[in-house]
A and B are shown apart, each in its own frame.
Chain A
Amino acid sequence: AQSVSQHNHHVILSEAASLELGCNYSYGGTVNLFWYVQYPGQHLQLLLKYFSGDPLVKGIKGFEAEFIKSKFSFNLRKPSVQWSDTAEYFCAVNIRGSYIPTFGRGTSLIVHP
């Protein structure tokens, strides 16, 4: 079974700082990759996803992620965070066609104004 690791459990940044959240997975086959975000008091929503093609994908609110197959990684980045980015971020992976995702444990991001 695949596993997903998010190495940063808690991140605290000041506004305008750059962000990179790590995500690594263990499955060696073809996968779909996702980042979901959960704003305080809200449900999870899709931030961005990678299925195939350009390994650099752009999502909502200025976020992007890069799929590096050789490193089994799908790190999330944003060049300049805002206070409104305070949220919990989840990386998820599913084997292509399986429809059963595995989620990482999440990273709590706090951005100070």
Chain B
Amino acid sequence: NAGVTQTPKFRVLKTGQSMTLLCAQDMNHEYMYWYRQDPGMGLRLIHYSVGEGTTAKGEVPDGYNVSRLKKQNFLLGLESAAPSQTSVYFCASTQQETQYFGPGTRLLVL
């Protein structure tokens, strides 16, 4: 039982490049989330999903897109990366309203 996993762990992008962050969970959770963590800002919700095929915007969705084609996977896309998207990205899933987090992806946009 791996819990929540994230790929990649670290990435460097140039402004304007695109990339996809993958989150996978093997706990059969319905709810999944993408957060970004910035110093002094805590965790801010980007997008979330309440089940396969459904997604919704969180607090800071601009510049990001998501997809939940399979229950166990939740993908976060950056179509045209900007330096403001330099951050640590955490995926989470929920059981009984408790969040289980992945190890994070550190993204640097130059």
Contacts and interface: CB of A to CB of B under 8 A. Distances in A.
Interface of A: 6, 9, 32, 34, 36, 42-46, 49, 51, 90, 92, 94, 96, 99-101, 103-106
Nearest to A51: B97
Contacts of B31: 99
Contacts of A101: 97, 99
Interface in B51-110: 58, 90, 92, 94, 97-99, 101-104
A46 B41 contact: no
24 contacts: A6-B42, A9-B40, A32-B97, A34-B98, A36-B99, A43-B101, A43-B102, A44-B92, A44-B99, A44-B101, A45-B101, A51-B97, A94-B97, A99-B50, A100-B48, A100-B58, A101-B97, A101-B99, A103-B35, A103-B42, A103-B43, A103-B44, A105-B41, A106-B40
Contacts of A42: 103
A104 B42 contact: yes
Interface of B: 31, 35, 40-45, 48, 50, 58, 90, 92, 94, 97-99, 101-104
A54 B95 CA distance: 22
Given A36-B99, A94-B97, A43 B42 contact: no
Given A44-B101, A101-B97, 14 more contacts: A32-B97, A43-B90, A43-B102, A44-B92, A46-B99, A51-B97, A92-B99, A96-B97, A99-B31, A100-B45, A101-B99, A103-B43, A105-B42, A106-B43
A29 to B, nearest CB: 15
